[in-house]
Amino acid sequence: MRGRTWGLRLLLLLGLGLGSQEALPPPCESQIYCHGELLHQVQMAKLYQDDKQFVDMPLSLAPDQVLRRFRELAQAHNLSIPRQELQAFVQEHFRAVGQELQPWTPGDWRDSPQFLQKILDPKLRAWAGQLHQLWKKLGKKMKPEVLSHPEQFSLIYSRHPFIVPGGRFVEFYYWDSYWVMEGLLLSEMPQTVKGMLQNFLDLVQTYGHVPNGARVYYLQRSQPPLLTLMMDRYVAHTNDTAFLRDHIETLASELDFWSKNRSISVSSGGKSYILNHYEVPYGGPRPESYSKDAELAATLPEGNRDTLLAELKAGAESGWDFSSRWLLGGPNLSSLSSIRTSKLVPVDLNAFLCQAEGLMSNFYSRLGYRNLRAQRMAALKDVLWDEGKGAWFDYDLENDKKKLEFYPSNFAPLWAGCFSDSDDADKALKYLEDSRILTYQYGIPTSLRKTGQQWDFPNAWAPLQDLVIRGREAGMGPTPPQHHEVRGSASLALGRRE
Ligand SMILES: *[C@@H]1O[C@H](CO)[C@@H](O)[C@H](O)[C@H]1NC(C)=O
Ligand SMILES: *[C@@H]1O[C@H](CO)[C@@H](O)[C@H](O)[C@H]1NC(C)=O
Ligand SMILES: *[C@@H]1O[C@H](CO)[C@@H](O)[C@H](O)[C@H]1NC(C)=O
Ligand SMILES: *[C@@H]1O[C@H](CO)[C@@H](O)[C@H](O)[C@H]1NC(C)=O
């Protein structure tokens, strides 16, 4: 479905002028790190070998001041700033990369985790030991200034320290972190994993999804969805059910993002299915690979450029940036300009989501609803069921006994499917027949007492008719029923009458 509207949205984007602020508000508003003239000029001048370097540099002044001075510079040079002037401008207004992070030795790092002892080959054990040492090199935490002046950094502040991939990747990434966490658990470092998980959950809370990595210029896209699996590995290792309980809603909202923003309808054998794909509905070059993207786009007719740029971003979202997997259209099937990522329904993405859906359902069981129900069913039987009368009754705590009077609510366990013994259902039905409750001309009375109260004889309330009528059906049926919609209609009726 989203696939079909895609072309339309893209047209809308084009019509509004891509990259300008009037377009669908891009998840990253920064006029320095995400789009705008300054980014364009600096990246197209190729001041650095790697475009990522510029967008990783912190500002030395507030962004509006830097932008104002840039406009002055651009005007002074009639919009074509000489390279040297541009270089000097960047040097004056930006700081060197890596300033915002500091080294961090994980607090739960220990010299000899058990897995090392289990490796018999001495060479392999030594190698694994070196790998284990790497956690101390790759551990990073953020300086407090990233929190106090977020507008001066492309880095997104994270509360907890983390492990980075290393090399040019000095921030953390989404799907990479799953395998990092598997390694950390093997190294018996669950506290580090918990902090990283918390960072990802914070991102979902703030942005509605997990971005590709912890930089504002990655906010437009996600990466293969492995957050639920990360939680599963952590909980399997630690039994930290409290953490799971606190964050299960956030996990669910990440999956919502995939179903709302990344789903597509596919027909097969006359049936229609909803599956997922990678798709980034924003044009413009990727800020961290700006000149490469812009140059590739320039090889295409103008009308095709924004599609290409969006498909490149979708390719980056897949984690496979880039691969022949995503090449489909175009005259040259080995050229990246043939990329059509969003036109493929990826096996791995759909398998990851299938796994996450299974894990979520296990999580809810694990959080105890299955047990709670079993305990409550046992209590309903032991406390509220009266074998002599053959029905359920309210329990009077004051006098420590059941209040053995007729109310339609006595049959709610039948209606709710909360009985395990079909003999009890039979007895309850017999109680209903014997008490001749169903013979009242104007419906099932609320009680048999005439007190003048609304919820007493002879009034008959709609919800109570339903409790008894459908409860009776359920008691006669082969399996306890599952009601869902009933409660809504019952409370509607109540609302109207009161
Ligand atoms: C500035 O550029 C415009 C268009 O590129 C040109 O018409 C104009 O003469 C230029 N002005 C100066 C002062 O160079
Ligand atoms: C998902 O799509 C809706 C519009 O369809 C958009 O408003 C929202 O920002 C998107 N969510 C994210 C996290 O990109
Ligand atoms: C977690 O709990 C399960 C079941 O209670 C138990 O079998 C397992 O040993 C526990 N694991 C840890 C790491 O405590
Ligand atoms: C196709 O694209 C590849 C990669 O960019 C390039 O090496 C090759 O020369 C192109 N082939 C043709 C026929 O243009």
Q: Of all protein residues, whose CA lies closest to atom 6 belonging to ligand 2?
A: 261
The number of domains in the chain is 1
Which residue's CA is minimally distant from atom 9 of ligand 2? 27
Cα–Cα distance list, 6 to 150, 281, 307, 311 (Å): 33, 8, 10, 12
**Which residues are CB-neighbours of 151 under 8 A, at least 6 positions away?**
59, 62, 63
Print the domain residue range for 50. 34-100
> From the alpha carbon of 209, which atom of ligand 2 is closest?
13
Ligand 4 centre to CA of 42 (Å) is 28
Asked if residue 88 is part of any domain, the answer here is yes
The DSSP letter of residue 211 is -
Residue 403 pairs in a beta bridge with none
Nearest CA to ligand 4 atom 11: 332
Two structure tokens written together for 32: 């320095």
| Nearest atom in ligand 4 to 332's CA | 1
Among the bound ligands, name the one nearest to the CA of residue 188: 3
How much of the chain is in helix, strand and coil states, percent to nearest 5? 55, 10, 35
Q: Which ligand is nearest to the CA of 74?
A: 1
Residues 493 and 463: beta-carbon distance below 8 Å: yes
Residues with Cβ within 8 Å of 278's Cβ and at least 6 positions away in sequence, in order, are 262, 314, 315, 317, 318, 341, 342, 346, 349
CB atoms within 10 A of CB 196: 23
Q: What is the CA(65)–ligand 1 centre distance, in A?
A: 26
Instruction: Please give all residues whose beta carbon lies within 6 A of any atom in ligand 2, as ranges.
Output: 27, 207-209, 257, 260-261
Residue 54 CA to ligand 1 center (angstroms) comes to 29
Which helix (H) or strand (E) segment holds residue 266: the answer is strand 263-268
Residues 443 and 451: their CA atoms lie apart, in Å, by 18
Is 443 a member of any domain? no
Nearest to 417 by CA among 380, 446, 383: 380
Distance from residue 225's CA to the centre of ligand 3 (Å):
27
Atom of ligand 2 nearest to the CA of 207: 13
- Please give the model's pTM, rounded to 2 decimal places: 0.80
Q: Is residue 85 part of a domain?
A: yes
Whether residue 154 is contained in a domain is answered as no
Q: What is the pLDDT along the chain (498 residues), one digit of tens a residue?
A: 333 333 333 333 333 333 333 333 457 889 999 999 999 999 999 999 999 999 999 999 999 999 999 999 999 998 899 999 999 999 999 999 988 999 999 999 999 999 999 999 999 999 999 999 999 999 999 999 999 999 999 999 999 999 999 988 999 999 999 999 999 999 999 999 999 999 999 999 999 999 999 999 999 999 999 999 999 999 999 999 999 999 999 999 999 999 999 999 999 999 999 999 999 999 899 999 999 999 999 999 999 999 999 999 999 999 999 999 999 976 788 899 999 999 999 999 999 999 999 999 999 988 877 788 888 889 999 999 999 999 999 999 999 999 999 999 999 999 998 998 999 999 999 999 988 888 998 899 999 999 999 999 999 998 999 999 999 999 887 654 444 333 323 322 222 222
**Amino acid letter at 445?**
P
Ligand nearest to the CA of 296: 4
Burial letters 380-405, b for 16+ CB under 10 A, else e:
bbeebbeeebbbbbeeeeeeeebeee
